[in-house]
Structure 1
Amino acid sequence: MSDQYGSDFISVTDDDGNEFELEHLDTIEYNGEMYMAFLPADMDENNEDYGMIILKVVQENGEDILATVDDDSELEAVYNTFMEQLFSDDEAEE
């Protein structure tokens, strides 16, 4: 993903009503569904507890919303697809 125009940030609210900001890394299509990868915007480089957050774009009442991926095998497959794309982009830049 190109950083030419800067990063994209969104605010999301979890099921408990906690609001937090995420930095959008990339969007991919996998098995006909759209997925978005994020990092917490307040990520501290010294804290390794943070990881990539993958959310699925789903339609609800005619609107696109972001939902968690509850199926572990689906999540793992999408994660691997994001990582393959990330590393192929890095190799293309060299």
Structure 2
Amino acid sequence: MSEDFGANYITIMDEEGNEFELEHLDTLEYKGETYMAFFPAVPEGKQEEARPDEEYGLIILKVIHENGEEELSTLDDETELEEVYQQFMELLFEEDEE
């Protein structure tokens, strides 16, 4: 984990070997599975360096168990992704209203 960020941040590597930081927003259980929501992280003072064409949307990853370890995986099923996205939106907006 990078020292540029706090405890709610993780570093992941994409399929091309590029590392990037994600800010963990929340975790939810849905239909017996665990999902985690993240936003891409930009270190303080480096917001100006972020490319304006980069998309900074919500990233949803599924917790899977492989070889006795927890790993994060992308959701390949569009229906599953949409359902979980809606669950996170309800959860995140519910927290904002409180």
TM-score > 0.5 by shorter chain:
yes
Whether 2:98 is the aligned partner of 1:80: answer: no
> Identical aligned pairs, as a percentage?
62
- 1:41-80 superposed matches below 5 A: 41-42=41-42, 44=47, 47=52, 49-80=55-86
C-alpha distance in 2, partners of 1:16/1:72? 22
Q: How many residues align?
A: 87
Gaps in structure 1 of 5+ consecutive residues: 1-5
Q: Distance between the aligned counterparts of 1:34 and 1:15, measured in 2?
A: 22
**3-state SS, counterpart of residue 79 of structure 1:** helix
Question: Which letter does structure 1 place at the counterpart of 2:28?
Answer: I
| Alignment partners' CA distance in 2, 1:85 and 1:7 | 21
Per-residue displacement from partner, 1:17-45 (whole Å, max 9, x unpaired)?
A: 11000000000001000000000002859
Distance in 2 of aligned mates of 1:14 and 1:32: 26
Q: What root-mean-square deviation, in Å, do the aligned CA atoms of Structure 1 and Structure 2 show? A: 2.1
Moved more, 66-75 or 46-55: 46-55
Q: Which runs of 5+ in 2 are unaligned?
A: 1-5
Task: Indicate whether 1:12 and 2:3 are aligned.
Answer: no
**What's the TM-score, normalizing by structure 2?**
0.80
Q: Secondary structure at the match of 1:24?
A: strand
